[in-house]
Amino acid sequence: MTPFSFEWQWNVEYIIFFGLLYTALTIIGCGLVYCFIKTWLGLPVAEEHGDRPEISYRAKYSEY
């Protein structure tokens, strides 16, 4: 229920409950955005298909 809903009542209980709810949702959303940005910035900038390191066990795959 939001203030734009038909049955909204401006009671103190509604203001406190939804204020805390929206505060918690905002904190969670900001934390997720922060994690996504830090992950995006931590990725290698120029990673081409040929720049990948060789996986050690694949080099001896023909021997197995």
Judged against a pLDDT cut of 70, whether residue 45 lies above it is answered with: no
Tokens of 44: 């290698």
Judged against a pLDDT cut of 70, whether residue 26 lies above it is answered with: yes
Confidence of residue 29 (pLDDT cuts 50, 70, 90): very high
Residue 53: what pLDDT?
Answer: 63
The answer to whether the beta carbons of residues 31 and 38 sit under 8 Å apart is: no
Judged against a pLDDT cut of 90, whether residue 57 lies above it is answered with: no
**3-state DSSP call for residue 40?**
helix
Length of the chain: 64
Residue 6 or 24, more confident: 24
pTM reported for the whole predicted model:
0.56
